[in-house]
Structure 1
Amino acid sequence: MSDPFPTLAPVTASPDLDQWRRPGPTPEQRRVDVLIGVAVTALTLLNMTLATSAGALVFGRVPALPEQIFWTVLIALPLCWRRRFPEAVAIVVSAAFIGGQIRAAPEQQLTAWVLFAAIYALGAWGRDRRRAKWIRVGIIAAMFLWLFTSLAIGLIRGPLPEFSNTSGFLPPLLAVIVNSLLVNVLLFGAAYFFGETAWTAARREHQLELQAEELRASQAEARELAVADERLRIARELHDVVAHHVSVMGVQASAGRRVLDKDPAKARAALESVELSARTAVDELRRMLSLLRQSGDAVEVAGGGVDRLDDLLANAREAGLETKLGVYGDPVELPESLSQAIYRIVQEALTNTIKHASATTVDLRIRYLANEVEIDVTDDGRSVLAGQRTGGMGLIGMRERVTAHDGVLETGPANDGGPSRRGFRVRARFPLARVAVDA
């Protein structure tokens, strides 16, 4: 049959759908079927009584009353199990329907609709689709065979009925035959079509449930990924905020301890620097936690931008480094996210220099080129510690920030592996074309 829902997307072939069988009726549906079957049986018996009382006998004769009741109940009562055992009900009803006609059972109106319901139920609830199809085809073929057989027997036995008051242009007998064929084609065709449509609708409902379950699983996975990304972002921000200031505090505290007895003034200055760094770290942590508590979409934790690079260099000078800053090219306004990424990369590079390099000088250069902006942080420390200086969260955080802006990160010896093995470089390049679009 053609798809009764042509506007819907085709059912995706999958192992689950290919093996799908419609679940049996629920207990509530079974109770409803029993009530409907009993009600239809009672109504059919009433109609049988009315037909015999009015003399509306299709075959001109009737069997004994017990036999009339037998055929009527045998046809109608199986509807109580039409959804639970659709194949057996369809076969029993169709066989009883033909048997009742052979025995001239008087009730022919409601029993025809009972046959319709049985064929429909088999199409809508049959578990084995191949078997359900061939059983329906066999029942319909048997019904038409019985129709032609009964017409032939009627013509052979004769005499032909008298058709009075005819006014059409067709022969009366031909009109009766054609009418019977059309009515039966409509009855059985509709039963087959609507049964198939109901089963297809149930299968599509099952497909939608599968898709909804997949969507829920996908949403749950997306939420888990979002949580993981947020945790990674928080870890990166905590690392950037805490590591830099704690490193400066450690250097200053060590310097203050060494000169505490010899030069109290220098020791006091070192302690003041430790205090200032601690306050700055606490302020940044408080700002970050405040932003994390905000409702709505995830926000990028503010910490600084290109305009605050001087503060980082000031901290480096307080830690005992000689700093240089060079800006080349025409500065352009950068998006806040990129400006903060540059700030964090420089902060991490300076932190690594303070912690690992034993350097005396650090050189920060910002180059605004035609199509990109470049950040270059170079020190004169020990490049042999490159593995330590670029490991852990520091390098991961820098690469994530650079990758997020389609940039390129380079880390390694500043002298390209020369004989002195001195100096280390962190260089990041960000495309300006995309920056301009984002801005």
Structure 2
Amino acid sequence: MLRDDVRTLWTEPRSPDAPGRVWRDWALLAGTLGSVVLEATLRDDVVWRPVAVMLGVWLAVLPLWRRTRPLAMITLAFGAIILLQVATVVADPPEPVGLYSGMVVLVLVYALPRWGSGREVVLGVVVILAGFAVSVATDDTPVGEEIAGLVFLLMPAVIGASVRFWATARERQLERVRSHERERLARELHDTVAHHVSAMVIRAQAGRVVAGADPAAAVEALEGVEEEGARTLEEMRAMVATLRDSGAGAELAPAAGVADLKRLLRAPGVRLRVDLGLDGDLDGLPPAVDAAVYRIVQESVTNAMRHAVDATEVMVQVTGEPQMVRVTVRDDGARAGRGRDGYGLAGLRERAALLGGELSAGPGTDRGWQVEAELPRGRANNGVHPRTGRR
């Protein structure tokens, strides 16, 4: 069991999506270099001043690569510290060599488990412990202080591992939400294809029956088959490339749509007044878009009921345009941020993206919370996103 855990840790890949350098990195560099200059200028007890300054500058620069090369930065930092400790054993200076700004090495210790692979973490911890062992061997510090120093040194690594675990767990939860939303879309796609194919089969059978007696009626039946086939292909092209092959045994029921919004917003338990506005052409929407509009309104109104502070009304506006459908849901509660988006909104964003649309959520312009979505109608733009121009 332990051997399997070690093997799993050793093969763990690096944390994905490590950010590039941001302003905080340059602020850390500037602050550390400023600390080096101040200590070198103002402190009178600095031993081997040029060496201490060089080490301080070296340690200040290394964090710039802590996310992309965590093991290399740990090795370079603690390798320099070990060399300095060995040199102090030979030369025996009266005081320890180094500056307080060298504490920046704790940032590297944090970055190792946060961004490194399993192999880098194991090797990096070995390097850190080697540096600590050399420090213990060369100093006459009491055992209690040595233990406290080790805990202090490794605490950033524990924090980094905890942050990574939390981020990984959230990403897995989001992926489960995306997968669930894709399964829902797959069931809706099944309904759409089954409906159109059934109509195609009926029209083809009718055309075959009348082909001999009424060729014109047979041609009309074939035109109907062609139209149904085009609609089916449109729905499939919008989603099938990104859907998983799952949900085969799920319950297949007709998906709710725009026509069901009034019934939804009149349902028992709706504690706020809901103002529903339906404008434009909302007839004949592709089933996937129709169901997406319903789901967006349902989730957004539910969130308003649960989280809106001092709200009295929820405004829902659905507008059908020639190329897209716009959905806006906002409440009149206190204008305050609600922190990180919930999993429901993550699922809605996934659904909108699969349909070639966009969804955004955040504080309203004046009050409350607002959710906005744009969904392409499909056939009006031949699958091209109305804003980006991409398929």
Name the TM tier (shorter chain).
0.3 to 0.5
Return the index of the structure with the highest Cα Rg. Answer: 1
What TM-score comes out, normalization by structure 1 length? 0.38
Larger RCO, structure (CA 8 Å, separation 6 or more): 2
What TM-score comes out, normalization by structure 2 length? 0.42
- Could you say which structure has the higher helix fraction? 1
